[in-house]
Amino acid sequence: MEAEAPSSDSVTTVGNGNGVLDPTKELDAGALFVLKSRALHDHASIWEKEVLEVSNYPKRKKGLMAALWVPFDRFYRGSGASDSSLCAGLARLDWGSSLPNAFSFGTGWGKYVIGPLQFGICFAAVIAGALLGGQSLKFIYLLSDPNGTMKLYQFIIIFGVLLLFLAQIPSFHSLRHINLLSLTVCLAYSFCAVAGSIYIGHSKNAPKRDYSVIGAGENRFFGAVNAVSIIATTYASGIIPEIQATIAPPVKGKMFKGLCFCYAITVTTYFSVAISGYWAFGNQAMGTVLSNFMGNEKPLLPTWLLLMINAFTLLQIAGNTVVYLQPTNEVFEKWFADPKMDQFSIRNVVPRLILRSLSVIVATVFAAMLPFFGDVMAIMGAFGFIPLDLIFPMVVYNLTFKPSKRGLVFWGNTLIAVAAAVLSAVGCIASVRQIVIDAKAYRLFANI
């Protein structure tokens, strides 16, 4: 079943539960221009794949399977709740709009808590993307000129210029070819990273490996919690409802196919890179495997292979980062665009160009000022991704479908939500503590 893509001179509507457009319910310009539904639901599996942190492998393999299953189950249940709302004729374009009718204590909860939380972590992902893109450019530069004097913040700015152009891509649907390329290069550089780790592990210059957990007492405890927050960020997604909003209803089955495809890629990429990287470097694993490949004095891999890995990484990060710009773009269109005028009219193009460019500039400046990738990942997981992906979907599901309180589903959701809340609280303390510790060694615009 297909839903006709709305033109900019037509009334924007939502489904009435049968996949038929309901002209009585209007959407805003953000939904009309950014979250276009073309019913090409195969793209959901590509949009769903987050590979920003494929090269950021955890320092422990324990818990990877649990970390994989829990988000998958939560996303599936969350998509079911959103689909239920859509079938009732209600547009659910983000977690902020999915929650108000589920909670009995007012619409402000979704508008002033969940919405800003989702917006914040998606924008933090853009900052992390700008930082990783700058690091990849710097690695390429050092491979061509080992004695070069350019600083990390300069490469972050260069990558930010690329994002300025990509940010102007008008809608989610327009990203389909970029996302396909992103998925392809993700598989390519994951394969190269695994091959590189195996090569280094068996080479004569293999680093000394120690698989023990670094630290003792509270340092070990908070370090482990910090690692869990990073894993949560790695497997999480902050834009499930936006992805789902681009698919013609009913979407639950289509999203399930997308999730299955997504996590098949996840197993192939994350697990292979994490296991091979940890095997090769042990507890000396850095924030990204590429940093380990560069070595302390000279690269541990052939120059041509490192150039290829970094080029693939750069392309993938660019595609992934522009996806995470979409929630910001949707908000800008909602607030400043006129849905009654054409999407590409001067009235809508000028504010779109200015505001999207401004958001990229702000993200680039933050990435250049605070180039602490591991710390950014941990704080995103603790403050954002764990609540958004492991707590609120279960709450929404229980309140939407009202499973029996004597059943396994209700108590399973409740148990995971409570455990995730405790983990989030401790993770917030651990991540802030780690930033305070690192702040003593780093400075603004540090060249690391």
Residue with tokens 């393999």: 61
Residue 192: the pLDDT is: 92
pLDDT classification of 155: cutoffs 50, 70, 90: very high
Decide: 124 and 372 in contact? Cβ < 8 Å. no
- Domains of the chain from N-terminus onward: 13-439 (1.20.1740)
Residue 146 binned pLDDT confidence (cut-offs 50, 70, 90):
confident
CA 293/CA 301 separation, integer angstroms: 6
> Would you give the DSSP letter of residue 81?
H
The sign of the dihedral angle between the CA atoms of 185, 148, 135, 131 is negative
| 3-class state of residue 38 by DSSP | coil
CA distance 336 to 416: 39
- Positive or negative, the Cα torsion across 440, 445, 447, 448? positive
Quickly state the pLDDT bin for 35 (edges 50, 70, 90): low
pLDDT at 296: 77
Contacts of 230 (CB under 8 A, 6+ apart): 53, 56, 58, 374, 377, 378, 381
Confidence band of 79 (pLDDT split at 50, 70, 90): low
Cβ-count burial of 144 within 10 angstroms (0-12 exposed, 13-18 middle, 19+ buried)? exposed
Q: What percent of the chain has pLDDT over 90?
A: 16
How many CB atoms within 10 Å of residue 68?
Answer: 18
Which pLDDT belongs to residue 137? 94
When mean pLDDT is compared across 48-62, 187-201, 421-435, the lowest value belongs to 48-62
Nearest residue to 86 via CA among 240, 239, 251 = 251
Mean pLDDT taken over the chain: 74
Per-residue burial over 151-183, b = 16 or more CB atoms within 10 Å of its CB, e = otherwise: bbbbbbbbbbebbbebbbbbbbbebbebbeebb
Report how far residue 133's alpha carbon sits from residue 314's, in angstroms, rounded to the nearest whole number: 6
DSSP string, 346-360: HHHHHHHHHHHHHHH
Quickly tell me which residue has 């260069």 as its tokens: 158
Confidence category of residue 240, pLDDT binned at 50, 70, 90 = low
pLDDT of residue 11: 39
Alpha carbons 287 and 273: distance in angstroms, whole number: 13
Give tens-digit pLDDT for 393-441.
Answer: 788 778 877 888 888 889 988 998 898 899 889 888 888 888 787 777 6
**Residue 63 dihedral angles phi and psi, to the nearest 5°:** 90, -5
How far is Cα of residue 137 from the mean position of the Cα atoms in its chain?
21
Is-contact 137 159, C-beta < 8 A?
yes
Omega of the bond prior to 250 within 30 degrees of 0, cis?
A: yes
Q: Which residue has the higher pLDDT, 113 or 294?
A: 294
Residue 415 has a pLDDT of: 92
User: According to the model, what pLDDT value does residue 37 have?
Assistant: 55
Q: What is the pLDDT of residues 320-369, one digit of tens each?
A: 898 888 888 888 888 888 888 888 889 888 988 999 999 999 999 988 88
Joined together, the tokens standing for residue 290 give 């590429």
Low-confidence winner among 113-117, 236-240, 285-289 (lowest mean pLDDT): 236-240
In degrees, rounded to 5, the angle at the alpha carbon of residue 190 between the alpha carbons of residues 195 and 188 is 95
Distance of CA 271 to the CA centre of its chain: 17
State how far the Cα of 160 lies from the Cα of 358, in Å rounded to an integer.
Answer: 11
Query: Phi/psi of residue 25, each to 5°?
Result: -120, 115
Helix (H) or strand (E) holding 23: strand 21-26
Q: How confident is the model at residue 305 (pLDDT cuts 50, 70, 90)?
A: very high
Interatomic CA distance for residues 393 and 401, integer angstroms: 12
How far, in Å, CA of 233 to CA of 420, rounded?
13
Provide the whole-model pTM.
0.76
Cβ neighbours of 405 (radius 10 Å): 10
Using the 8-state DSSP alphabet, how is residue 388 labeled? Answer: I
pLDDT band at 20 (very low <50, low <70, confident <90, very high): very low
What pLDDT sits at residue 118? 77
